[in-house]
Chain A
Amino acid sequence: MNELKLVADHVILALPLIGAYALFGLGIVVIYRASRVLNLAHGAMVMLPGYIAYSAAPRVGPALGLLVGILSGGVLGVLVERLVVRRLRPISQTAQTVGTVAVFAVLVALAAKVWGTEVLPGVTVVPRHAYQVGVAVVSSDDLALFVVAAIASAFFFALFRFTSLGLAMRLAADNRRAAALMGIDPERTTSAAWLIAGLFAGLGGVLLAGATGLHPYINSLDVLPAFVAVLIGGLESTSGALVGSVAVGLAIGLVPSVGFIGDQEGAPQLVLAIVAFVIMALRGRKFQASDVRSALA
């Protein structure tokens, strides 16, 4: 009975992870569908808005700082697509994917140069408070991450299902050439996809920084499990990405509570690697080997 309760507590601890992975994973899926690229720069597109909000907040306050962070994520998304991914499209899909790795490296280096590699406190958007739930302590930042992610995901699905833009994006993802013949500008829907994914990355990035602090490498790499979540969901499915986020969030949140392996350093990552390996082995043919290798690196 006690153990069951312990598990329940860890589930609560996993909620912010699930929220964060959902925000990042939905972005990765939308970009993949629009550009057929696994955006390996996504981690950096999450990290940088955290810093931008951090620099903006002292001047404009935390709420506007959050807004600036979110918008910077959107701008960053559009720029990465316009300046790198779109230009590499005529060459090959692999070139585009490698391009996103280059963007990742440049953005991380930029952040390290501008803000240094000391851990900085992220912008706290919600008043700081800690809630005791059983043995688990949940901070208001964690809760905010989950609640905001849930609202954002709902908004996201409504956008895709019920708006013309959503229909246009789904059509262009399904058949780009046919979409153009219907009167849809595929370049525009691609930009819209990167914009939305970037806004989500910015939102998640600022909240993540508030919950965990800011570091150029750590915050960028925090996004890696979201790639696993997306792969579990089949790379193209938004609802699959949500399911994958829950699975990955629970794996990372729950493994520490499992007796014989939980207290080992790196146990969650190991479990995640196994989960990812099994799922990708089962779906293997769907992805380019290079994408999978880079995602796991």
Chain B
Amino acid sequence: MNEPVLSVCDLDAHYGAIQALRGMSLQVAQGEMVALLGANGAGKTTTLRTVSGMIRPSAGSILFEGAQIGGLAAQTLVRRGLAHLPEGRELFPTMSVEENLRAGYWVHRRSVSGYRSTRDQVMSLFPILGERRRQHAGTLSGGEQQMLAVARALMSKPKLLLVDELSLGLAPMIVRQLFEILRAVNSQGTAVVIVEQFVHMALANTNRAYVLAKGQVVLDGLSADLLANPQLIASYLGETAEVRGRKGSEEAGPVEVGGSRVGR
């Protein structure tokens, strides 16, 4: 593994008095695509929010390209190349598709010519957005809104893209299409971290995966290995797991999966 683009170590985060992350640690290598899995409340979304600066960590370190970024504001981190596609998309509903894309380009706004080429490049991934260019974002269908959210995040030309619940409320066909686009983006060098409820879809599209429970990592390994052990995943994710095969019967103790560390 070359120098990681993101290195999170012993991270704690709180919502008021409630502790959401307890010693969360993970690494993302350059050009890697990583999935965060786990039941509701496991800390997946909180992890993304803390990394992207929406939440201040209460302890631990976050290194982005080797530099400490823990506690920096979201608006500062976008400039460094860290884009976050948040839960619920967070579009600008009363603004047009084009204006949403311009918003995504905000950190590079001084380069006017760059805007056109970046926009055209991003739009080529989502031809439908070109047709909807003047339409208000709030009037798009759910799938189109998610495409716009992805497109907007790409407009900042990120080195690391955090994606929260890409599939939420969308038809499987659209989800597959979006995942293909994310993989294309990833293959051009952008590291991607996804949080996903559809475990199978997440594992099939990533290099590695972390399983979270109660604010920390309880299992990590190569996605292909985890995919080959559905029982193991099911034992951690219980009913929420969308994995084919029997539910795991063995209780989760320390287990070796494809040479990767597993622990509780």
Contacts and interface: CB of A to CB of B under 8 A. Distances in A.
A222 interface: no
Contacts of A168: 106
B95 A180 contact: no
Given A180-B73, A181-B74, A174 B94 contact: yes
Contact size class for B?
20 to 34
A179 B92 CA distance: 9
Given A168-B106, A183-B79, A183-B107, A177 B90 contact: yes
Interface in B146-162: 152, 156
Interface in B70-89: 73-75, 78-79, 83-84, 86
B54 to A, nearest CB: 7
A96 B103 CA distance: 29
Contacts of B104: 182
B264 interface: no
Contacts of B75: 180-186
Contacts of A132: none
Interface in A193-216: none
B94 A182 contact: no
Contacts of A182: 75, 78, 103-104, 106-107, 152, 156
B247 interface: no
B93 interface: yes
Contacts of B109: 164
A170 B95 CA distance: 9
A60 B221 CA distance: 74
A248 to B, nearest CB: 25
A182 B90 CA distance: 11
A178 interface: yes
A168 B86 CA distance: 19
Given A181-B86, A183-B79, A174 B107 contact: no
Given A174-B94, A175-B90, A167 B103 contact: yes
Interface of A: 164, 167-168, 170-171, 174-175, 177-186
Interface of B: 52, 54, 73-75, 78-79, 83-84, 86, 90-95, 99, 102-104, 106-107, 109, 152, 156
